[in-house]
Amino acid sequence: MTTTLFTNGRSQAVRIPKELRFEGREVSIRRMGDGVLLVPVKASTWPEGFFESIRIDDANFTRPEQGELPPVVELTR
């Protein structure tokens, strides 16, 4: 299958045939050799900045005691 390239403002654009259209409004783009790979971006389930807000940067932080593991149960056939 082939399609056409065109210019939209100062950007190069590609016409994607109807049967190959993406859901959503955003794709990730990556160069792969002589080609380009487009992958749909899934909506994030975490608020922006969430992981930065819970990161522990305190050098004095020590991990709490985790307790002992229960004994391993052996399975028989």
How far is the CA of 32 from the CAs of 21, 26, 41, 59, 66, in angstroms?
20, 19, 18, 41, 45
pLDDT value of residue 53: 84
What span, in angstroms and rounded, lies between the C-alpha atoms of 13 and 6? 5
Helix, strand, coil percentages, rounded to 5, for the chain: 10, 25, 65
pLDDT value of residue 77: 77
Place of tokens 């900045």: 49
Q: Between 66 and 3, whose confidence is greater?
A: 3
Q: What is the pLDDT of residues 3-45, one digit of tens each?
A: 999 999 999 999 999 999 998 889 999 999 999 999 998 877 7
